[in-house]
Structure 1
Amino acid sequence: MTLVTDVTDATFAEAVLQAEKPVIVDFWAEWCGPCRRLSPVLEQLAVEYADRVDVVKVNVDENREVAGRYRIISIPAVLVFAGGEVAATVRGAQPKPVLEREFARFLGAEE
């Protein structure tokens, strides 16, 4: 079972913009090798910080409206939304310590 859920153009507003806690959004595509390498790292974050953040994935090939709205031109791109706004961005397949450092204020981790 995974804690990372798929979000679509149709469900993005409810799942991300209206969420009560911060949401880590992974913009990815099936053909993207770095995206596949990043996926287990995001799964780990979803498990370890489940009480503080939600983690979702948006397939950019299938959900062009959301990808276009946030100007996703290279993937993987990981954005944190808080209060319906983009609050942090990390580009590329970064290792877990980098994501934890960049997203520390949302994860409740010490900076």
Structure 2
Amino acid sequence: MTAVTDATFADTVLAADRPVVVDFWADWCPPCVGTSRHLAELAEEFGDRLRVVALDTDANPDTTRAYGVMSLPTMLVFVGGQVAGSIVGARPKNHLRLAFARHLDT
């Protein structure tokens, strides 16, 4: 998974030519560890159809605040530079797979 920052968020996420899942996480968040593992596996499964990136909320407070992230982990799905979906809290991998697949062109 690619790491994004406040400085790279617009170019990496908002200007992307495909759906992007942003994993908002922090080192102190135990559920974030399992979620990050699931997301890395799903990134491989989806390949070029979906991009998955991670944003450390402690190191990047501007983006975290801008999108109102209050709980971790939070995953926002961006399509065409806009938030098209969100998942708050740890979820099973299959739940994440199905949620993200809804945002892909069929």
Q: TM-score range by the shorter chain?
A: over 0.9
**Alpha-carbon separation, structure 2, partners of 1:83 and 1:105:** 15
Cα distance between partner residues in 2 of 1:14 and 1:74: 25
1:63 and 2:60 are equivalent in the alignment:
yes
Q: Does 1:49 align with 2:50?
A: no
Residue from 92, 96, 102 that aligns with 1:95: 92
Aligned pairs for 1:14-93 within 5 A:
14-93=11-90
Report the TM-score, using the length of structure 2 for normalisation: 0.95
Give the unaligned 5+ runs of structure 1: none
- Kept in 2, the 8 Å contact 1:78–1:91? The answer is yes
The one-letter amino acid of 1:22's match is P
Corresponding residue pairs, total: 106
The sequence identity of aligned pairs, in percent, is: 49
TM-score by length of 1: 0.91
**Runs of 4+ in structure 1 displaced over 3 angstroms?**
none
The aligned residue for residue 4 of structure 2 is: 7
Q: Gaps spanning 5+ residues in structure 2: where?
A: none
Do the aligned partners of 1:49 and 1:107 also contact (CA within 8 Å) in 2? no
Deviation, structure 1 residue 101: 1.7
Q: CA RMSD in A?
A: 1.2
CA distance in structure 2 between the aligned counterparts of 1:63 and 1:50, rounded to whole angstroms: 26
Tell me by how many angstroms 1:37 deviates: 1.2
In 2, the alpha carbon distance for the partners of 1:108 and 1:25 equals 19
Counterpart-to-counterpart distance in 2, 1:27 and 1:108 = 24
Cα distance in 2 between the residues matched to 1:108 and 1:94 = 23
